[in-house]
Amino acid sequence: MFKPPSFASDIIAFNFDGMASPSISITLPKHQASHSLSRGWGLGWYPEDKQSAMVTKDTSAHDTQILMGAIIEWANFRSTSFLCKILSAKEGYSHAETQPFSRSFAGRDWLFVHNGYLDKQALEKLHADKSRFLEPLGQTDSELAFCNLLAKVAESSARTIADLDPTLLHSWFQRFDALGSSDMYFTDGSSMVFFQGSQSPKQLRYSRIQPPKNRDLYTSEVAKIKLNDPRDSYRTAFVMSSAPFSTGDWTPMIPGQLLIVRQGLIVWDSVLASGSQLMNKLVTAPTIKAPITPHVPTLNSQNHVLNVRAMTQTLTGEALHYRLFEVTHTTEYSYSEPVEHSTHLFRLQPTDDPIQEVEHATLSISSPTEEIQFEDVFGNQAIHCVIDQPYKKLSVKAISRVKVFATPPDNHNLSRRQTSIPLVWMPWQRQMMMPYLLPAELPESQLTELTEYAMSFVLRNDYHLVNIIEDMTMSIYRDYKYVSGSTSLSTTPFEVYTSRQGVCQDFANLLICLARLLSIPARYRMGYIYTGVDYANKIQSDASHAWAEVYLPYVGWRGFDPTNGCAVSQDHIRVACGRNYIDATPTSGTIYRGGGKETLKIAVKMREILR
C-alpha cells in the first residue's frame, strides 16, 4: 500500500467567467523540524486568454515576494485560468521539476499541477509512448503523469478537453489513483479538470465566488486572494484549493471525483454523471396514457401533420396530451378623489395559435366604457377603453379558459437549423427582426461589460446556440436572487447584473439583453405560470409572469423562463409579447382629470381543469 509522506505542498486554481487579475499573496510554509525541504512556488496563466501560457517559478523563494509582486503589477496578468503550486518538496528540485508544467500540443499550451507522489516505476510501465515529444524534461513522477495524459489526448484525436468524452477522461485519472496520491489540475486554457485521489495528502475544496462577495478577502494558511482590480468587479470565480480558506462556502471533493470547469462553472461532475447513469438503469419505462384523440397521424416524407394540435404522439411513441386551465385575473384600482376622465389599454386575452387554444375569454369592467377591440402591431389582442363617468373604484376582471398542447421536441440536427453562434441573417430577415435585435440603450461601458458576460456563455458552451440560451436561463435562476420590490420599471439590465437580484421582469430583460448582444432576436413575453400544489418553485404562481422568447432559425420563437430556470412548457400560458414590458403590459392607462392617490390590487388565480 502506498504511504504518502508526512508533508505535502498546496495547489490552488482559479477559473473565471471572464478575464481577471486576481491579487495573490503567497505565505510560504515554515518547516520547523526538517532542514531538508526547499520552499518556493510556481504560477501559470494564459495572458489575455491567448492559447500560449505564461509560467513563472521560484524554486527557493524563502519568504521573498519580489517576483510575485512584479507579476501582479504586470499589465498582461489577465486571464480566465490560473494554476498555482506552493512548494514543500525535496531538496534539489530545479526549475525543470517545479510545477506548473507546461507543454504545447494541438496549437495550444497545456498546464498541469499535481499534489502527491506516484509509484514512478509503475507509471513508467503505464506510459508506453516513448516519443521525444512526450519525454519529460525533469525527473518527477508528476511530469511523467502529465506526459501520459497528453499521450492519451493525442491517441483519442482530440484537440481540446471539450473534445474528450468526460467519462473517458475520468478513467485516465482513475489509473493514476491506484499508483499513489493523485490530486491533479489539468487545463488547455479553456477547460479546467480537477481530480481528487483516494489517497490524497490533503482535502481539495472548491467554491464559486460571485459578486458582490468577490470583493472580499479570502485567506488560508498559504495564500490571500482578492479581486481588487476595478475591471473585475463583476467577475465570478471558481476556486479549487488544497488549503482551506477561513471565509466563504466551500464544498469538499469526494475521493475519485472529477470535475470539469469552464468559464467559472462546473460543466461535468463524475459523481452526478454516475448517479444519472444509475437512475437510468433503475427507472423502468413510464406508462403512456391513452391519447385523447383516437387518430394517430403518421409522419413520413409524403404525409406531414401541419396542425400540431392533431398530433397525439411523437415519432418515438410518446403520447402528447393537452392541458386545460382556467385563469382569473382581477385588477382593482381605488382613488382618493373621483376620476372624471381616463383611458385604458388591456392585454389580457391569451394567445390563440397552433399550440395554445382559447376556448373562451371574457372581460368585465365595473364602469361603463367606450371600447375598441383590436390586434396591436405585435399580434396581441388588445382593448382600448375610454371612461367618461366619474368613479373612485374600478374593477377589471378577465376570465380565460385555455388549452395548452404538448409538442414534439425540436430537431436541431437538420442542416438548415443553425446550431452555433454567430447566427447568419439575410438582410430582409435582419430588417424584420431589428426591434428584437437592439439591446437596451445603456452607456457603452455597461454594454461592453454585458457583452463580455454574454460571451462567457458562448465560450463555456463551445458556441452551441441552444446550449448557450439554456445556460443563460439556468445561470440567472441559480446566481440571481428573487427579491420582491427590489426593483422598479426603470431598472436596467445592467443594474440587475450588478446587484444579482430582481423579479421576473428583470430576469427576462437581462436574458433578452444578453441574447440581443449575441445577435439572437429576443422579445418580452407576459403570461401566467401554473405551479400546482407539488411544484418546488412557486415564484409568480399568483400573479402575472414574465419570461423571454428567442427566435431560432428554421424553428421559430421559443420561450425560456429564467425566474424558474426552465424552458417554457405546458405550465405556461402566453398572453402578450413585445420588445419590452411596455409593449406587453397587461393593464395600463392615463388619468386626465381627478384621481388623487391611487391604490392598486392585483390577484391571479389559475387552476387546471381535469377531464
- What digits encode the pLDDT tens for the residues 486-544? 889 899 999 999 999 999 999 999 999 999 999 999 999 999 999 875 554 556 566 78
Handedness of CA 561, 565, 570, 572 (dihedral sign): negative
CATH class, domain 324-404+587-609, is: mainly beta
CA 354 and chain centroid, separation: 31
Contact between 17 and 236 (Cβ < 8 Å): yes
Q: Is 361 exposed, middle or buried (0-12, 13-18, 19+ CB in 10 A)?
A: middle
Contact between 183 and 196 (Cβ < 8 Å): yes
Give this prediction's pTM. Answer: 0.87
Looking at residue 438, its pLDDT comes to 95
- In this structure, the strands spanning 322-346 and 237-241 are unpaired
Copy the grid coordinates of residue 246.
477561513
Which residue ranges does the chain devote to CATH 3.10.620.30? Answer: 427-569
**In whole angstroms, how far apart are CA 505 and each of 360, 485, 566, 579, 581?**
27, 12, 15, 12, 7
Q: Residue 300: is its pLDDT beyond 50?
A: no
Q: Residue 373: is its pLDDT beyond 70?
A: yes
**Conformational region of residue 62, where left means phi above 0, alpha means psi within -120 to 50, and beta covers everything else:** left
3-state DSSP of 399-462: EEEEEEECCCCCCCCCCCCCCECCCCCCHHHHHHHHHHCCCCCCCHHHHHHHHHHHHHHHHHCC
In 3-state terms, what secondary structure has residue 284? coil
Contact between 220 and 245 (Cβ < 8 Å): yes
74-108 per-residue burial string, b: 16 or more CB within 10 A, e: under 16: eeebbbbbbbbbbbbbeeebeeebbbbbbbebeeb
Which residue ranges does the chain devote to CATH 3.60.20.10? Answer: 10-115+182-277
Looking at residue 67, its pLDDT comes to 54
Q: Confidence band (pLDDT; 50, 70, 90) for 93?
A: low
Instruction: Report the topology of domain 10-115+182-277.
Output: Glutamine Phosphoribosylpyrophosphate, subunit 1, domain 1 (3.60.20)
Handedness of CA 500, 504, 505, 507 (dihedral sign): positive
Looking at residue 27, its pLDDT comes to 78
Q: How far apart are the first and last CA of the chain?
A: 66
Copy the grid coordinates of residue 275.
448517479
Which residue ranges does the chain devote to CATH 2.60.40.2250? Answer: 324-404+587-609
**Conformational region of residue 367, where left means phi above 0, alpha means psi within -120 to 50, and beta covers everything else:** beta
- What digits encode the pLDDT tens for the residues 31-82? 544 445 556 789 999 999 999 999 988 877 665 454 555 566 666 789 999 9
Contact between 134 and 222 (Cβ < 8 Å): no
CATH class, domain 427-569, is: alpha beta
Mean pLDDT across the chain, nearest whole number? 87
Q: Residue 235: is its pLDDT beyond 80?
A: yes
